[in-house]
Chains A and B, each alone.
Chain A
Amino acid sequence: MLIVLPLVLQQVNDYWMHIVIMIGIFSILSMSLNVIIGYAGQFALGHAAFYGIGAYSAALLMIHFQVSFWIALPAAAVIAGFFGFLLGTPVIRLRGDYLGIVTLGFGEIVRLIFVNWVDVTRGPMGLPGIPAPTVFGYTFSGKMEFYYLILALALLTFFVIHRIVHSGVGLSLLTIREDETLAQSVGIRPNKYKLLAFTVGGFFAGIAGAFWASYISFVSPDAFRYLDSVNILAMVILGGSASLPGSVLGAVILVLAPELLRYMSDYRMMLLGLAIVLMMIFKPTGFWGEKHRKYNFYGMVRKGEGK
């Protein structure tokens, strides 16, 4: 269905293609944040920073070093993952609110660097002219190509993160979320797994960023504000933390809703806020929350143990 979808949408107009591509980007972002928040239980608030680092890394590599998109994409992901690791190193000692504050600060620092390091980032003017990806001399031009690219990237992200969280590593991540002290007395090193979560989270956010840069062909600090971090966080919470399909669903809802409600102009944000509040009251585990994951886990455990 996802493969034929663009053929239908293209008949309508490019606008809908764009929306669907944005859903793809935000699906990757919310899935990557879910590793940090949903599975490792670390309340991080600066996810747009990794998205931005990925976008700027890819943009700078492609503009100044004429690197092809196919190299810039993994490079940007590695750079963003490295920053996840860097941020993780000091902040894994913090818990709860303090972690939130520091990661929020990190997000702002990164954005301010984009704004003020004019020599490299051109500040608020942004970096225009980022080349589109090419395959054997053919340059991506329409939305259709980008759609299939983001579909492939989102599926890759889903698959890799799914494998990570449903392995022994995933189980260890969950123990840290549940009870860090107890995890330690079992012999688990919480810091090792928290760092891993930040690195993986940063890595995949970097992929989304690199795609965005090449897709829009222009990056500026405006796309990576605090509000965007909160938006990604809302997707994770709304969809259901510790649930990958939930993250995708959250991205679908929160990208679509503001568009569908566009005719209501300013009231749409109020409605969205109201929806989130209602969500918290009536369905705190999200639309596609924990329950689903647990059944998966029972299955896995049963398999490992044998009857």
Chain B
Amino acid sequence: MTSGGQAILEIKDLSVNYGVIAAVKQMNLHIQPGEIVALIGTNGSGKTSALRSISGLNKSIQGQIRFEGQEITKLEPHQIVERGISQVPEGRGVFPDLSVLENLKLGAYVRKDKPGVAADIQSMFELFPRLEERRKQLAGTMSGGEQQMLAIARALMARPKLLLLDEPSMGLAPLIVKEIFAAIRKVNEEGVSVLLVEQNATMALAAAHRGYVMETGSIVVEGEAAELRNNDVVKSVYLGIG
């Protein structure tokens, strides 16, 4: 599905090259406001490179990335955060030697409204009650699931319009993954658009509205999440059915 007003994020002909290796080739992707979009693909298919291009961490990129209609391709990472795109990097997106509270405060680094920040910390504790119990604990001493929760909460502290998640389910127990995906849906219902990069296609397509399948740097299939779940290629390669 396309159209339906202006996209919050639009990627046109994005290419990422590391030397002679093309990690992303002529990629096109768009996210409508309020959508959860899943980007699935195997290891090394270029998902993370694409994500790092959006958040400005990749410098040598070609193509165009537009956020709310404005070009952000050449902006610095901090400018992109200020515009309203927050990223949870792959692995553990937390500062291990800082406490939970310090991590959350840093998430609000680009914001100027002090009272709002304190209120948001409280709402993060409502979203992930476990973080409140551990507010003074060093992030690095928490379990993987708790760290992932903190990473998401930290990203939300910037009050993003678009949240980029890089493999939130990586290395976590199925029960925790469920909990995290429930939180992602909840955040989305509050109006935050989400780009979800995942290898866990089952979970991602269950949570997302639409999805893209990436293979060796190119988008090979795209469509509604329900459609993709029944797509033969996706079924056999990513869902392990048939």
Contacts and interface: CB of A to CB of B under 8 A. Distances in A.
A174 B138 CA distance: 14
A305 B121 contact: yes
Given A187-B82, A297-B99, A182 B77 contact: no
A172 B86 CA distance: 17
A181 interface: yes
A187 B136 CA distance: 23
Given A185-B89, A186-B81, A187-B158, A171 B105 contact: yes
B182 interface: no
Main secondary structure of the interface of A (DSSP, over half): helix
Q: Which of A186, A297, A305 has the most CB of B within 10 A?
A: A186
Interface string B100-126: 011001110110000000100100000
B78 A298 contact: no
A259 interface: no
A79 to B, nearest CB: 31
Contacts of A97: none
Contact of A184 (B77, B99, B158): B77
Contacts of B128: none
Nearest to B158: A187
Given A298-B136, A301-B102, A306-B118, A186 B89 contact: no
B96 interface: yes
B105 A185 contact: no
A295 to B, nearest CB: 10
Contacts of A290: 97
B221 interface: no
Interface string B63-76: 00000000000001
A178 interface: yes
A96 interface: no
B101 A187 contact: no
A301 B107 contact: no
A181 B93 CA distance: 10
A178 B57 CA distance: 17
Interface residues of A, number: 23
B181 interface: no
A185 B87 contact: yes
Given A186-B154, A187-B78, A178 B95 contact: yes
A298 B56 CA distance: 32
B102 A297 contact: yes
Contacts of B136: 298, 301-302
Nearest to A192: B78
B55 interface: yes
A297 B105 CA distance: 13
Interface string A285-296: 000001000100
A265 to B, nearest CB: 43
A166 interface: no
Contacts of A182: 89, 93-95
Given A185-B57, A187-B109, A179 B76 contact: no
A106 B76 CA distance: 29
A279 interface: no
B233 interface: no
B98 interface: yes
A175 B95 contact: yes
Given A298-B136, A302-B136, A305-B101, A186 B109 contact: yes
A29 B148 CA distance: 40
Contacts of A174: 95, 97-98
Contacts of A306: 118
A163 interface: no
Given A171-B106, A182-B89, A185-B81, A305 B118 contact: yes
Nearest to A301: B101
Interface string A168-209: 000110110011011011111100000000000000000000
Given A186-B109, A186-B110, A186-B154, 8 more contacts: A174-B95, A174-B98, A185-B55, A187-B78, A187-B109, A297-B98, A301-B102, A301-B105
26 contacts: A171-B98, A171-B102, A174-B98, A175-B98, A175-B106, A178-B98, A181-B57, A182-B94, A184-B57, A184-B78, A185-B77, A185-B86, A185-B93, A186-B106, A186-B107, A187-B81, A187-B109, A189-B76, A297-B102, A301-B99, A301-B102, A301-B105, A301-B136, A302-B101, A302-B136, A305-B118
Closest 10 CB pairs of A and B: A187-B81, A187-B110, A184-B77, A187-B78, A185-B87, A178-B95, A301-B101, A187-B109, A186-B109, A189-B78
